[in-house]
Amino acid sequence: MINKVLITGATGLIGRELIKQCHQEGISVNYLTTSKEKIKNTDNYKGFYWNPQKREIDLNAFEGITAIINLAGASISKRWTKKYKKVIIDSRVESMNFIYETLQNLEHNIEHFISASGISIYPNSKTKLYTEEDTEVDDTFLADVVIAWEAAAVKFKDLGMEVSKVRTGIVLAKEEGALPQIAKPIKLGVGAPLGSGEQWQSWIHIEDIAGIYLFILKNQLEGKFNAVAPNPVQNKKMTKLIASKLDCPLWLPNIPAFALKLLLGEMSVLVLEGQLVSSHKIEELGYSFKFYNLENALQDLL
Ligand SMILES: NC(=O)c1ccc[n+]([C@@H]2O[C@H](COP(=O)([O-])OP(=O)(O)OC[C@H]3O[C@@H](n4cnc5c(N)ncnc54)[C@H](OP(=O)(O)O)[C@@H]3O)[C@@H](O)[C@H]2O)c1
């Protein structure tokens, strides 16, 4: 039975929902935050300061902890300058290395290390369905990030822990993340499918991504897990469904790929590429999705 978990990046989109679900299950949460003003202290929710860059950490965060969920990472949606790319990588890899080094020198009872990861490790494809068994990797910056991120997570095995990597799809939530970004131009009457519109979007509802973390935690599952809903859709279908739920007709032709490449540069892979990813493994292990179809997810979120 798990009583208390330590979460990094807990104040973000996924973390906030995960904390809610942990509390519903009677699991207390300690969290590490890089912002002192986000520190709260209640019976089942305690914040501790860390600054991975300066190698500062409040060791009290580890007291009574048997598992860590690592969600820390700077946003990938800001301009990928050379400098910011380093921030994207370091905020994931160096922060994890810092926890690793800290635990090497600390007496603790941590048995399970669960880390966020991404489906962008899989190559862009319109036809291939990716499972956790697939070993091909994409040649994009984001794939490089995921490879380094997972390698840093796997090291925790050396400390005697089970390690899990949660290859997360596009998280759909009301206020933050991809959905408000996609909905905005549609609401303004200028929405359209992107590029060919045929790129796959392996999405997941916010309640399910948090539910999968909790499921992995409670069942002490180790290994790689795709965290995507069972029915991915292509970009044009997602755009049309959102438009129809918002009652805002689409009238523009697809936005051409070359224009998106000009506008976004290397970051255009975020909108022009996609992977068709299988949720079979986690379902076989007994996880029951709340939101199987995009239509139901959007009904709930919009
Ligand atoms: N949302 C998605 O669609 C999606 C998809 C695939 C993978 N993921 C991954 O899942 C994880 C959680 O996602 P999310 O959507 O909840 O992210 P989020 O809302 O951006 O939250 C991430 C949290 O990481 C912490 N953080 C930010 N910059 C940091 C830095 N430089 N060093 C250390 N910590 C830093 C922040 O917490 P403090 O301010 O409290 O430190 C922030 O609240 C991320 O690693 C993300 O890449 C998300």
Q: Distance, CA 213 to ligand 1 centroid (Å)?
A: 15
Hey, which of 7, 14, 20, 146 would you mutate to test ligand 1's pocket, going by the most ligand atoms within 8 Å of its Cβ?
A: 14
Q: Distance, CA 7 to ligand 1 centroid (Å)?
A: 11
Average pLDDT over residues 265-294: 97
- Residue of the CA atom closest to atom 32 of ligand 1: 91
Q: What is the pLDDT of residue 31?
A: 98
pLDDT surpassing 90 at residue 143 = yes
Can you read off the two tokens belonging to residue 51? 């600054």
Q: Strands 129-130 and 28-33: what pairing?
A: unpaired
Residue 51 falls inside a structural domain = yes
* pLDDT band per the 50, 70, 90 thresholds, residue 1: confident
Residue 8 falls inside a structural domain = yes
Q: Distance, CA 51 to ligand 1 centroid (Å)?
A: 15
Average pLDDT over residues 232-256: 96
Phi first, then psi, for residue 163 (nearest 5°) are: -120, 135
* pLDDT band per the 50, 70, 90 thresholds, residue 81: very high
Which three-class secondary structure string do you get for the chain? CCCEEEEECCCCHHHHHHHHHHHHCCCEEEEEECCHHHCCEECCEEEEEEEHHHCEECHHHHCCCCEEEECCCCCCCCCCCHHHHHHHHHHHHHHHHHHHHHHHCCCCCCCEEEEEEEHHHCCCCCCCEECCCCCCCCCCHHHHHHHHHHHHHHHHHHHCCEEEEEEECEEECCCCEHHHHHHHHHHCCCCCCECCCCCEECEEEHHHHHHHHHHHHHCCCCEEEEECCCCCEEHHHHHHHHHHHHCCCCCCCCECHHHHHHHHHHHHHHHHCCCEECCHHHHHCCCCCCCCCHHHHHHHHC
Q: Distance, CA 179 to ligand 1 centroid (Å)?
A: 16
Q: What is the pLDDT of residue 98?
A: 98
Q: If you average pLDDT over every residue of the chain, what do you get? A: 97
Atom of ligand 1 nearest to the CA of 72: 24
Return the residue matching tokens 């290397």. 266
Residue 293 falls inside a structural domain = yes
Residue 248 falls inside a structural domain = no
Residue 67 falls inside a structural domain = yes
Q: Distance, CA 23 to ligand 1 centroid (Å)?
A: 20
Query: Using CA atoms, how far apart are residues 108 and 73, in angstroms rounded to an integer?
Result: 24
Tell me the CB-side half-sphere exposure of residue 234, using CA atoms within 13 A. 13
Atom of ligand 1 nearest to the CA of 31: 40
pLDDT surpassing 90 at residue 3 = yes
pLDDT surpassing 90 at residue 17 = yes
pLDDT surpassing 90 at residue 34 = yes
Cα 101 to chain centroid, rounded: 24
Residue 222 falls inside a structural domain = yes
* pLDDT band per the 50, 70, 90 thresholds, residue 63: very high
Q: Distance, CA 250 to ligand 1 centroid (Å)?
A: 32
For the stretch 208-226, pLDDT in tens is 999 999 999 999 999 999 9
Average pLDDT over residues 194-198: 97
For the stretch 278-287, pLDDT in tens is 999 999 999 9
Query: Using CA atoms, how far apart are residues 78 and 95, in angstroms rounded to an integer?
Result: 19
Hey, which of 34, 84, 94 would you mutate to test ligand 1's pocket, going by the most ligand atoms within 8 Å of its Cβ?
A: 34
Q: What is the pLDDT of residue 247?
A: 96
Q: What is the CATH number of the domain that holds 71?
A: 3.40.50.720
- Give me the number of domains the chain comprises: 1
Share of the chain above pLDDT 70, in %: 100
* pLDDT band per the 50, 70, 90 thresholds, residue 191: very high
Atom of ligand 1 nearest to the CA of 87: 31
Domain range holding 195?
A: 4-236+264-301
Residue 257 falls inside a structural domain = no
Q: Distance, CA 92 to ligand 1 centroid (Å)?
A: 9
pLDDT surpassing 90 at residue 15 = yes
Task: Give the pocket of ligand 1 (CB within 6 Å).
Answer: 9, 11-15, 33-35, 38, 52, 71-75, 91, 95, 116, 118, 168, 170-171, 177-178
Residue 206 falls inside a structural domain = yes
Q: Distance, CA 74 to ligand 1 centroid (Å)?
A: 6
pLDDT surpassing 90 at residue 85 = yes
* Sequence-distant (≥ 6) Cβ neighbours of residue 112 within 8 angstroms: 66, 67, 68, 161, 162, 163, 164, 217, 220, 222
Hey, which of 19, 54, 71 would you mutate to test ligand 1's pocket, going by the most ligand atoms within 8 Å of its Cβ?
A: 71
pLDDT surpassing 90 at residue 258 = yes
